Chain A
Amino acid sequence: MPGFSGVARRPSQGPGIWALRAGTILALSIAAPDPPVPSGAKSDLMRRGGRAIASATCHLQGFGIKAQVAPVLDGGRRRPPSLTQSTGQEYYRVAPVNCSRIRVITRLPQGTILTSIDDARMAVFRIRLGDPPISVLLATAHLLAKGPQPNTPDNQRSEANDFSRLIRKAEGKHKHMRTFVAADLNVNPTDIGLISSDGLHAVPTRHVAGWPSRQVNGKPRGPLFFNPMFSVWGDLVQRPPGTFFKGLTYRTASFGMSLIRCYSGTPLSTCLMTALSGSLIPTGQHRFALRRANRPHRTICRCTFA
């Protein structure tokens, strides 16, 4: 059923491991099997030995949960990436029934997280936490990458609009806007699909994001997301850079996107305001290697967290 599809418990098999902290929801965005993965690329998370980067992290301080997104190469085999043999922990794979580009795994207690709405590229989950239980929504997606036709900016914008509509629909369905996004959107914070009011409407200012709506051409458009990824561009500060060099766009690319609704109409919004680390996995032990020019390469970034 939508929700937990199974439980796996396997023995630990040494270092280089991904182990999920309790309270972590890991969304894996599955690379398209077509075009084929370059030869030599590892085919799934297990074979990569944990060498993947979390592209964005969203941490709900009030609940002690966080959602992370990690890109995974599927190797064209269309099967869920395997964490099993490495973790030695119980985890659950949440089953978005037919969402082929996302896998979500977690150690949250069974029954806590349910798939609300999904399609082939995006999904919205309802998470119920606390006592008495409070519902929050996690939206995740793996949208079109930048590239030649059909991956044009127009189509990316259209997909962002689709994602936005799905989120609004889920918010209407569950009658609240306690929503956060951790997704592989394949866009930069300034891209039109992310910033425009008919897209995800994600702004860099918490104050503005807290407004219920914003006037666009004389009409109220809302609600807005806060996009903290603006603050993690570049590598001036002593932390992993939130962007890396990529020739396709204007020489930067973000590792993914975390967005938060700051206006929820309830006091819970203060809980939802979180520390966003932006780029790499921020907690636990993490190591990462950067190539020259501070360009992290996906296959050499190494993250271990326990």
Chain B
Amino acid sequence: MPRGGQWPEDLLDGGVQDVATPEEILTSQAVDLTQKTKELLRGKVEVGSHLQYIVIDFFIVAPALDWYEYRLFKARHKLRPQYPVELTVGADRKIKATGPDELLRACSLIFSEQTTRHLVSELIALVKKRLEDDQARSGAGAEGQ
């Protein structure tokens, strides 16, 4: 025979600490890249799953270069608990972050590495060149008319 609901009344109020999820943190980093490069490059986060893991891919996208995308790193974590997060950078380097702060530190480490800086500046230079070429081409086209 059905009786009254046994769930606690304060389910929406928490009882769980408000901790930023890995996806939120990485998405904020993607937005940061987009803003700091004035949209010449865009950060993009894609979430999927594999076995018991949530997998998150962090991409750098260059819209002007035919939407070229580079997967800078991959992150994976279990559904519960969401930490630790394991980041795979480059071919096989692993970084483990046991909490949001460590994940932010790991992001900072990856973004300030020489290889990443080099990649980003190279892409920005290519994007600028492509935009200039396009501009010159459209200018020439307008003169031709």
Binding site for B on A (CB under 8 A): 1-2, 32, 97-98, 100-101, 114-121, 144, 150, 158, 161-162, 165-166, 169, 173, 198
Contact = CB atoms under 8 A, between A and B. Distances in A.
Contacts of B91: 32, 100-101, 120-121
A100 B130 contact: no
Given A114-B68, A162-B55, 8 more contacts: A2-B66, A2-B126, A117-B70, A117-B71, A119-B70, A119-B72, A158-B76, A162-B74
B94 A173 contact: no
A144 B88 CA distance: 13
> Chain B: interface residue count, which band?
20 to 34
A106 B97 CA distance: 41
Interface stretch (B17-25, B30-38, B44-52): B44-52
B13 to A, nearest CB: 36
B124 to A, nearest CB: 12
A153 to B, nearest CB: 13
B37 to A, nearest CB: 15
A119 B65 CA distance: 16
A173 B70 contact: no
A101 to B, nearest CB: 6
- The winner among B57, B68, B126, B129 for most chain A CB atoms within 10 A is B68
Interface of B: 46, 48, 50-51, 55, 57, 59, 62, 65-72, 74, 76, 90-92, 94, 115, 119, 122-123, 126, 129-130
A2 B125 CA distance: 12
Contact of A165 (B57, B122, B129): B57
Contact of B69 (A100, A116, A162): A116
B50 A198 contact: yes
B90 A100 contact: yes
Q: Which of A98, A121, A169, A173 has the most CB of B within 10 A?
A: A98
B94 A97 contact: no
A174 to B, nearest CB: 10
Given A97-B123, A98-B119, A165-B57, A158 B66 contact: no
A165 B68 contact: no
Contact of B70 (A98, A161, A162): A98
